[in-house]
Amino acid sequence: MAYYSSNRALELRALLRERFPTAHTKAAPTRGVSPWPPAPDQDPPPLPVIDFVPGEIREVVAENPGCGGALLVGELLYGSLRNKRILTLVDGKDSFDPDSFGQRLCRQLLWLRCRDAEQALQSTDLLLRDGNLPDIFLDLQLNPLAELRALPLHVWHRFRRLSEQSGTALIVLSPTPLVTSATSRFVLRHESPPAAWELPRASLSTRPRTRLQRQRFPHVQMSA
Amino acid sequence: MFAALFIPDFHLQAQLRLRPEWRGAPVALLEGTNDLTAKEREKARVLQITREAELYEVVPGITATRAQARCPQILLVHRQPEDEESARKVLWDCASEVTRDFEASGPGLVTLDLHGVRRDLQTLAIRRIDWLCELGLKAQVGLAENPDLAFLAARLAAPVLVFRGTPIQIHERLASLPITALQPSPDWLSLFQLWGVQTIGDFGALPRHELVERLGPAAGRCWDQAHGRSQRLLRLVRAPEIYRETLDLDEPVESSEPLLFLLHRFLERISARLAAAHVAAGSMELVLTLESSPAHRRTFRIPEPVRDVDVLFRILQTHLERFHAPSPVVAIALEAFPTRTLNGQTHLFETSWRDPNRLADTLARVEALLGAERVGTPLCGLSHRPDTFRMQPFSLQPLPASGYVPKTGIPPGPRHECGVPSGPPLRRFRPRRPIMVATTASRSSPRPSAILSGPLQGALTAQTGPWVSSGDWWQEANWQREEWDVQHESGPYYRLALEAGKWFAEGIYD
C-alpha cells in the first residue's frame, strides 16, 4: 500500500511539474529582506540572503565601517513590518538613528539602547531565555574591538542552546568574526556608495555586498 | 424565609453615627445639598428628624424656616453623600455576613434571602442589630415568607418582628396598619383619602379586579402586598470584594528575603480568594511603609490576568530585586484588583505572545539593567532638531498576523511609501564626538578639509553641504547648526556638524 501511495505521489508531482514549471523554481524567502528578482538560468550563483531563521544564530561581519550594517537593519525592519512581526534590536553602542528610518518602519521595533557589549549580551540573554520575541538583532558593530575580544566565548554557545530551545532567531552584527557557534557567517564587503545621497533607500540593498563565508549545514537551504 | 434589614431615617442616621456631639439634640435633615443658596435653604423642606425634634412638633414636610420657628435651637443639616456611602457599606457588610444573597431594596434597606441559613433567625437578627448599633446605626428587622412582607414587618418591628401564618392571619395583622405603610404614590394617597381608605385593611377590602382596572397593574401588586401574597425575585447585589493583605511588622525589615516570604504567603491567600470568585488579578498594588521615609507605592499591570501564585510572585520579586529602600520597612500591604479571566480564544488573524506575563517580567528585568528610558519603541519626528526622538513603552498588544489586512488599516505598501528617507542611513555617535577640523576658505562658510583630532583623524576627500537648520528661536535654548556630509580618505562617509563655532562628528553613514 505504501509503495502504491509513493508511486502515485511521484506521478502527481511529475504531472504538476509539467503543467506548472514556473511554480517549481525556488522562490525568494518571504521574510527579512525585500524580494529579489529570480535569477535567470545559468547566471552567477544566487546572492546570499540575510534573514531570520528560527532557532539559529547567524553572524554578519562588517569588516569596515560604513559597509551597510545600518542598511541591513533597515531591510530587516521593513521585513518585520511586512510580516507583522516584532524586531528586537539590541543596540550595543546606542547608535541606531530612528530619524534615518522613519516612524512607520520603527512601529514594530523594540529597541534596547545598551551602553556597552556586556549590557548588550546580558539583555540578549534575558530575551533568549524569555522566548516571546521571535527575531533578535544584536548590533555590536560600533563596539570597540578590545571590548568584544574580552567577551567570554561560552556565551555564544549558551546563546545557541537558548536559541534552539526557544526557537528564537538571532543575528549578530560584529566588526570581526566573534560568534563561534553561528550556523552561518556572512561578510559585508566595503563598497563606497558613489553619490548615493539622492538614491532611494530601496536601491541601496546590502545583497550585492554580501558574501557567505561559512555555513555549518550546507545542505540546508540558505540563499535565494 | 426572607429578612428585611431596615434603618429608619437612613440619611439622617448616616450623619448622626459620625457626629456623636449631635446626640440628644434636635436635628432636622433638609432636602438638597450644601450648595443651596440662602433663599433656597429657607424654602427647603424637612425630610427627616430626630426624636428630640419631634418634641417641638417639627414634622417632615415643613420648611426650614417653620422648623426654626417651632424649635429655635434646631440643627438644620443637608444630606452628605460621603456619609451615606459609608453607612451603606456598613449595612452591606452586615448583610453579607449572614448571606451572599441579598438585595439593596432602597436607602437603608436590604432584603436577605435566608433559604439555606440554618441558624435561629431571631437570634441572628438581634445579633445583627447589636452589631449595627455598635457602629452607630439603629436598625429594625422583619422576617416573613416573602420580601415585601418582610419589609412591612421591618417597618413595624421594635426591633424584630416575624410574620408567620396563613395569608388570612397575616392580612388580619396588617389590617390595622396605616395605608402609608404600603408606600403609595402621592396621587394614590390623595385618591385613597377621597375614598376614605385609611388602613391596609380598608385597602385590602377593595375588589382587586376593579382596582387594577382603575389604577393599573401596580395597584394589583400593592393589593397583593396588603394581603401578604406578593412574590418576586430579589435583585441580588454583590458587595465588591477587596483582595488585600496587610501586615505591620514587629521589627523593621532591611532585606528583601523576609518581604518576599511574606508576599508569597499573601499571594497564596489572595489567589485562593480570586479562585473562589472565578476572577483573576488584572493589576496589583504593593505598599511598603518605611520607617522614616514616605511609603513606597508601586502598581503592577498584569498583561494577561492570572491568579497563578508563581507568576504574580515573579513580578514582585523582579521589582524588589532592584528596589533600594531609603529606610527599613515597617509594614507591608498587597492588594490585587480583580478582573475576568481570558477564557476566549484570540482573533483568528492575531498572533499573541506565548506568555505575555513572562515577557512583561523580562522587559522589567531589561529595564532594571539598562534604565526604563532605554527600552521601548522610538517615537520620532517631534522636532526638526536632530536626534530628538522619545522612547515610548513597548506595547504588549498582540499584532494581526501576516497576510491579514484589516479593513480600517493601511497595508504596508512598497518600501518607498513607508516614509523612509533617501540615501544611506546614519549610525549616530552618542554622545557626539567633538573634533578639530581644518577648513578651507570659502565665500559663504568654511569648508572642512581634514579632521585633525580623535580616532577619525585624516583628510576629507569629498564634502557636501552646508545644510543649515535652526529652531526654538522663541526660547533661550535656541539652536542653529550647519551639517556637512564628508568622505574620509579611508572610504566611509561621516556627518559633521558645526554648532556654536565647534565641530562635532555626529555619525557614520552605514
Are A109 and B377 a contacting pair at CB < 8 A? yes
Share the mean pLDDT of chain A. Answer: 78
Q: CA neighbours within 13 Å on the CB side: how many for B393? A: 9
Q: Would strands B390-392 and B479-488 be described as parallel, antiparallel, or unpaired?
A: unpaired
∠ CA(A168), CA(A172), CA(A173), 5° rounding?
150
pLDDT of residue B96: 85
Residue B439 CB-half CA count within 13 A: 18
B477 part of a folded domain: yes
Residues B17 and B106 grouped into a single domain? yes
On whether both B130 and B31 belong to a single domain, the answer is yes
Contact of A111 with chain B, judged by CB distance below 8 Å, is answered with yes
Q: Inspect the interface and report whether the beta carbons of B510 and A67 lie closer than 8 Å.
A: yes
Task: Tell me which DSSP letter residue B181 carries.
Answer: G
CB distance B317 to B357 below 8 Å: no
Q: What pLDDT sits at residue A11?
A: 78
Q: What is the mean pLDDT of residues A44-65?
A: 80
**ipTM higher than threshold 0.90:** no
Same domain, B81 and B201: no
Q: Residue A172 forms beta bridges with which residues? A: A59, A138
Cα-Cα end-to-end distance for chain B: 82
Question: What is the per-residue pLDDT for A198?
Answer: 66
Give the rounded percent of residues in chain B with a pLDDT score beyond 70: 92
Is B409 inside a domain boundary?
no
Residues B287, B198 share a domain: no
Q: What pLDDT was estimated at residue A110?
A: 94
- Compute the distance between CA of residue A89 and CA of residue A141 in angstroms, rounded to an integer: 13
Cis peptide before B378 (omega within 30 of 0): no
pLDDT at B260: 93
pLDDT digits (tens, 9 = 90+) for A137-187: 999 999 999 999 999 989 999 999 999 988 899 999 999 999 988 998 988
Q: Is residue B74 part of a domain?
A: yes
From the number of C-beta atoms within 10 Å of its C-beta (0-12, 13-18, 19+), residue A193 rates as: buried
Q: Is residue B193 part of a domain?
A: yes
Statement to judge: residues B154 and B299 lie in one domain = no
- d(CA A69, CA B436) in angstroms, rounded, equals 27
Residue of B392, B404, B427 to mutate, interface with A, max A Cβ within 10 Å: B427
Residues B328 and B351 in one domain: no
Decide if B347 touches A, using CB distance below 8 A: no
Q: What is the pLDDT of residues A90-148, one digit of tens each?
A: 999 999 999 888 888 888 899 999 999 999 999 999 999 998 898 999 999 999 999 99
Same domain, B432 and B496: yes
A145 shares contact with chain B (CB less than 8 Å) = no
Q: What residue of A is the nearest CA neighbor of B463? A: A195
Q: Do B125 and B95 form a contact (C-beta atoms < 8 A)?
A: no
- Residues B450 and B494 both lie in one domain: yes
Q: Which cell goes with A215?
A: 555555513
Shared domain check, B328 and B287: yes
**Section B163-169 average pLDDT:** 80
Q: Do A113 and B370 touch (CB under 8 A)?
A: yes
Q: What 3-state class would DSSP assign to A82?
A: helix
The answer to whether the CB of B230 falls within 8 A of the CB of B146 is yes
Q: How many CB contacts within 8 angstroms connect chain A with chain B? A: 189
d(CA B478, CA B289): 45
In a domain, B198, yes or no: yes
Provide the pLDDT confidence category of residue B463 given band limits of 50, 70 and 90.
confident
Residue B27: the pLDDT is 92
Q: What is the mean pLDDT of residues B345-360?
A: 73
A2 pLDDT above the threshold of 50: no
Contact list, B369 vs chain A (CB under 8 Å)? 119, 122-123, 126
**Distance from C-alpha of B507 to C-alpha of B198, rounded to nearest angstrom:** 95
Cβ neighbours of B379 in A, within 8 Å: 103
Residue B292 domain boundaries: 243-338
What does the alpha-carbon distance between residue B294 and residue B326 come to, in Å, rounded to a whole number? 9
**B437 in a structural domain:** yes
What pLDDT does A108 receive?
Answer: 87
The reported pLDDT for the residue numbered A35 is: 35
B425–A201 C-beta distance less than 8 A: yes
In this structure, are B330 and B350 located in the same domain? no
Q: Best interface-test mutation with A: which of B420, B460, B469, B506 has the largest number of A CBs within 10 A?
A: B420
Q: Least CA distance to A205: which residue of chain B?
A: B424
Judge contact between B93 and B104, C-beta under 8 A. no
Interchain pair B430, A204: CB under 8 A:
no
Tell me which residue of B451, B448, B482 sits closest to B463, measured CA to CA.
B448
Residues in chain B: 510
Q: pLDDT category, B454, cuts 50, 70, 90? A: confident
Closest CA to A62 of A32, A95, A85, A24: A95
Tens-digit pLDDT profile for residues B228-269: 878 888 888 876 778 999 999 888 998 889 999 999 999 999
Q: Does B26 reach chain A within 8 Å, measured CB to CB?
A: no
Does the pLDDT value for residue B419 go beyond 80? no
CB count in 10 Å sphere of residue B310: 11
Q: Which residues contact B59 (CB under 8 A, 6 or more apart)?
A: B46, B49
In what helix (H) or strand (E) does residue B29 lie, and over which residues does it extend?
Answer: strand B27-30
Ranges A8-22, B199-213, B353-367: which has the least confidence: A8-22
pLDDT attached to residue B400:
58
Q: Residue range B307-318: average pLDDT?
A: 91
What is the mean pLDDT of the segment spanning B469-475?
86
Tell me the C-alpha distance between B223 and B205, whole Å.
9
SS3 of B385-439: the string is CCCCCEEECCCCCCEECCCCCCCCCCCCCCHHHCCCCCCCCEEEEEEEEEECEEE
Question: What mean pLDDT is predicted for residues B479-500?
Answer: 89
Distance from CA of B321 to the nearest CA of A (A): 15
Which of B418, B483, B495 should we substitute to test contact with A (largest number of A Cβ atoms within 10 Å)? B418
| Residue B327 counted as domain residue | yes
With 50 as the cut, is the pLDDT of residue A64 above it? Answer: yes
Write the CATH number for B272.
3.30.1490.100
Please determine, for residue B417, whether its predicted confidence score (pLDDT) is greater than 70. Answer: no
- Please write the tens of the pLDDT for every residue from B39-84: 777 788 899 999 898 899 888 889 889 999 999 999 989 888 888 9
* Amino acid A38: pLDDT: 41
Angle between helices B309-321 and B356-370 (to 10 degrees): 10
User: How many angstroms separate the CA atoms of B101 and B206, rounded?
Assistant: 35
Greatest mean pLDDT range, A182-196, B67-81, B155-169, B383-397: B67-81
For CA atoms A46, A49, A53, A59, give the dihedral sign.
positive
Interatomic CA distance for residues B310 and B355, integer angstroms: 13
- Domain-embedded: residue B104: yes
Which chain A residue's Cα is nearest to B399?
A84
Measured between CB atoms, which of A84, A126, A127 is closest to B400? A84
Strands B493-499 and B236-237, sheet pairing: unpaired
Distance from CA of B256 to the nearest CA of A (A): 22
Q: How many CA atoms lie within 13 A of A191 on its CB side?
A: 17
DSSP assignments along B444-509, one per residue: SS-EEEEE-SSTT-EEEEEEEEEEEEEE-TTSTT-EEEEEEEEEETTS-EEEEEEETTEEEEEEEE
User: Can you read off the three cell numbers belonging to residue A139?
Assistant: 548590533
CATH number of the structural domain A57-215: 3.40.50.300
DSSP B94: H
Residue A185's H or E segment, with its range, is: strand A184-188
pLDDT, residue B41, reads: 78
Number of structural domains chain B divides into: 5
What are the grid coordinates assigned to B467, written together?
545644510
Interface test with A, best of B321, B366, B426 (most A CBs within 10 A): B366
Helices (H) and strands (E) in chain B, counts: 15, 24
- Judged by a CB distance cut-off of 8 A, whether residue A82 touches chain B is yes
Both B375 and B273 in one domain: the answer is: no
